[in-house]
Homo-oligomer: A and B are copies of this chain.
Amino acid sequence: MYYPDTIQKLIESFSKLPGIGPKSAERLALHVATKMKEEDALSFAKGLISVKRDLMHCSVCGNLTDKNPCSICRDSHRDRSVIAVVEEIKDLIAMEKMREYRGLYHVLNGVISPMNGIGPQDINIPSLLERLKNEEVKEIILATNTTIEGESTALYIAKLLENTDIKVTRIARGLPVGGGLEYADEVTLLKALEGRREIINNNK
Contact = CB atoms under 8 A, between A and B. Distances in A.
A106 to B, nearest CB: 16
A54 interface: yes
A80 to B, nearest CB: 20
A52 interface: yes
Nearest to A8: B47
A34 interface: yes
A159 B89 CA distance: 61
A51 B13 contact: no
A97 B48 contact: no
B2 A31 contact: no
Interface of A: 2-7, 9-10, 12-14, 16-20, 24, 26-34, 36, 38, 40-55, 64-67, 70-71, 88-90, 93, 96-97
15 contacts: A5-B66, A6-B54, A7-B55, A9-B43, A9-B46, A13-B43, A14-B44, A29-B47, A34-B64, A38-B52, A41-B48, A42-B49, A45-B45, A45-B48, A45-B49
The complex is assembled from copies of this chain, and their number is 2
B3 A50 contact: no
A30 B66 contact: no
A130 B6 CA distance: 29
Contacts of A16: 36, 40, 44
A60 to B, nearest CB: 15
A166 B74 CA distance: 75
Nearest to A7: B51
A98 B40 CA distance: 33
A68 to B, nearest CB: 11
